[in-house]
Structures are given as C-alpha cells and as structure tokens.
Structure 1
Amino acid sequence: MRYTLRQLEVFLACAHHENVSRAAESLSMSQSAASTALKEFEQQFELRLFERTGKRLRLNELGRQLWPKAEELLERAQELEQSLASHRDLGRLKIGATLTIGNYLAANVMARYMEEQPGTRVELEVANTSAITERVLNFELDLGLIEGEFNHPDLEMIPWRSDELVVFCAPSHPLAKRKRLTDRDLLKATWITREPGSGTRQTFERAMVGLLPKLHILLELQHTEAIKRAVEAGLGISCLSRVSLADALKRGSLIELPVSQRNFHREFYFALHRQKYRSAGIERWLELCQSIEIN
C-alpha cells in the first residue's frame, strides 16, 4: 500500500481546517510533520489536492472527490481498531441535534444507546438547523437530528417523527381566555420568536405566510427556555414546539392559544451526508430513534 492512514488523517484535517498549522494541532503533531505527510501523499500519486493561497488550503475538485472516500476508509479503520481493542460492535458517535430535539428528545435515545453499549462515547452537539447541517456536510458530525427539511444535494433527509408548533402566552395575557385567535389578533400581538436559521423559525415563517412582514417581533432568542421565561413575564406571545411546552402547559404556567387557520405541523428529520459511511453505531442510533416512543 502506497499511502498510510496517518497521511489520510492529515489530508482530512487539512480539508476541515484549511490550514496546516491548525490541522497539525488537531492531530497533536508538529506543523513540519503534517506538512511533510501531506506533501508525500500528493507526490506519491503525482497529484494536487489543494489550491494554496498563502497559508490557506482550499480543496480543488480532485480533493473534494477524494474527501468522502477518505472519510469512509478512516472510519472503517477506526471501527476495526475499536473492535480489536474493546470487542465492542458499536463505536464513538458524533451526533448533532437542533435545540428542541437536543434539549427534549435526544437524551432518551442517548441513554438507551449507552445502556446497550457500556463505555461507548457519544458526543452531542446542540445548535440550530443551519449550523448542524453545515457540520454534517463537512463530515464533522456523523448525523444530524433536525427540525424541518433542509434541501441540499449532498444531504439525505430521512423522516423521523411528526411535530407541531404551538402559539402560547402567559395566563395573565389579554389573549389567554380567547377561544380562537384571528389573523388580526396575530398582527396586533407582540411576538418573541426563535432566531433566523432555526428550524422552529422556518416553520413559524411558513405558517405565518402573508402576515410575516407585518408582525411585531420584539425579541429573537436562541434558547427555548429563555423564550418561555420572557412569555411568562408578560413580554409577548410566542410559538414553539409542543414537545418543549408539554410541562409548562400541564402546570398552567403557559396557555395554548388556538390558531386553527394556520398550519403549524412539521416533521423531524435525520440528516446524513450521502457519501458518509454508515457505521454499525449510526445504524443502531437510527433504529433506536425510530423505535423509542417519546411522549
């Protein structure tokens, strides 16, 4: 074999970081060693994988074609190493989840997964939809659990479960006792919403088509708990996933507002890179997500 796994690691680290120094640091090796490994890798096959501009490396077309193949080969090698070292079938997983899923659903799946495989490491990154999908596309996450569909030719979107958003307010709010909110009520209200780029905001904007430019949005917040606290304090009304509101609605600290003329239904999806190697761990995670009933 004319190349080494270490050379593949250096190539992939340079592809991720677009800089030899940062790539070397991520691999705990010297810059000169990383630079030599990359140079030898290219020279062995008489090819160039990067366009070099100063200290910045950018994958050329050949490098982009090699990237997913190198990722798959390295992951297979890591799986073999883990099996040899620990005799476990499932290895380390890097999961990305949007805020609603990460804060209210993913922990159940993670607990079941780790119960099956004691000592298995699962890393969970929680961010909004755009951030999670970007990291899946860059092979920095094994898969993403996202709210709403995200269209990209390199992403495979697999439906997971249905969800719906709920418009809600504090019990003391003037709209709390209304049996139905009209579009006029929605336009008059003061809103506290999720930030642009989130799956919840995407669904909210789709549901509010025709009204969106005229809505009075006072605050845009990244975290659902902050939004709930702001609504409880009487700053306005909001719209979040029913999953994130279940306890508050049950306690009565927040009140659901009926808006029957607007469609707030959506789907949760698995987002996977089409060229990502699906390890035994990824396949088992998907099976658990589909099998676990979440109330």
Structure 2
Amino acid sequence: MTALSVQNLSVQTEDQRALVSDVSFELPAGQRLGIIGESGSGKSLTALAVLGLLPSGLRASGSIRLGDTELVGASARTLNGLRGSGIAAVFQEPLTALDPLMRIGKQLAWPLSHHRGLRGDALQKAIIEALAAVALPNPEKIARSYIHEVSGGQRQRVAIALALACDPDILIADEPTTALDISVQAEILNLLDGAVRERGMSLLLISHDLAVVSQMTEQLLVLRGGESIEQGSTRHLLTAPEAEYTRLLVNTARSLEAYLPEVSAQAPGSPSGHTTPLTTPSENQA
C-alpha cells in the first residue's frame, strides 16, 4: 500500500519560474525515503508542497496523493484535517516552527483536542504522556514552559512530540538535526528512528547529510536545481550511483569522514553522541 504518491510535482513562482520541476516518487506505508541534495535543490519546497504549506506566491502543480486524497488544490479544511493525523512534520528550527508566545502544553493541547477529541483531565494526561514519550525530563514543568525557556535539544523534542501526538501515518523530518549541537544530534536521530519503527509510520527525511540518510532510510531521491537526478535503494545509490552528481555527493561525504574520524566514529545512540559514519543499511546491520 502506498501511503504517499507524488507524480510530476512542480513548484512555480507567480512569474512562472520553476523552483521544482516534474518530481515524482512514492513512499509505501511503513517505509523510509530520504531526499538529498545541496542547498537550493528543492528538498524543503517539495516537503512544503506535500504539506500544503508553500509560501505565498508559490504554486504547486501535478499530483500529491495521501492515500486516496488528492492534496494539490485541496481545500484548507481538507488539509487542516490531515495535518497532524494523516501527515505531520518536524522542521529544522523549532523556534520558528513553534509559537513563542504560547506555553508548550497549550501548543500540544490543540492537535490532541482537535484530532483526538480529548478534553479535561484526559487532555492534560495526554499532554504529559506526549512529552514523556520523547524522553523530556520533568514533562509537567516542560508543559508549563515557553519554548525559549528550554534548551535547543529539548525544543526539538517538543517539536517531535507535537508531530507524533496524533499518531500520523507519515512523518516528514526536514533537516531535523542541522540546528543542533553535534552532541545532541545522535540523540534526536535515535529518538526519531525509534518512534518511526515502534509506530509503524512512513518517514520522509529531508537532508543534505548522507551519513544521516544512510542510517535512517531505505530509498533515496537525489535532487539538484529542483529536478530529480537519480532515485533508488539507499544501498545502491551509496555504493554504485549512476549519476555524476550523486557520485560527487557520495565521494565528498566519504572524503569528509576521512578528515573527521573523531566525529564520524560513533553511530546514533552510542555513548559518545557523535554523528554517524557514512554506511549502507546492510553495513549498519552487520
């Protein structure tokens, strides 16, 4: 069963300038797809188009189907009904994704009441459980806090709790660790990996970091200048890429590892908390 199907997606400005051109991919239920490419390649715009959150002045065309629902051209009511329960997102910078003027517990209360119909004591219990599920210490205190009163790693955990609160079918993670200290990155990746696995969700991971997608995904889509360059299994694209651009990305990543062995020495969840080496899924399981 395909959870998400994107066919011939294009994103254009009002003056018809193409930022994303004819991109297609499918994300089967329970599977993981990574979208990689340099800055400006169209990765985040593709994710925003899927969520129906493109900035003003940009227009999506083509087809984006979430199950049986067509999202391109869908009404705000339809999209609002799906965000949170059908599809949810974790973005790079939680300070811009979360409301700085609202207590964290209040921000969690909205999706829990809107999508799950919780009220009163049941709602308060669900808020604390959502924060505890992402290993936040003292979730009662966190719920009473504003987002600027917690650390960067804790803010990203709050963002993940918000995304997971209503058990979406698909989680989009757009550069979820880039803004974090390297000591915190592995913790967040480990948390995302466990949550996706335990809940049986599909994962769409947006990243420029091949070491991250090599550990977290089964399929890869490579974008450059808003166009699809190559796609296939993570193992194939990391060991035998066909496109020259993909080979350049892989070779550059491996060269960086050679110069930074102390950074890439440990896998996610390891005691040192360092980022991961560039490995194929089979190498990681060996």
| Bigger Cα Rg | 1
TM-score, length basis structure 1? 0.23
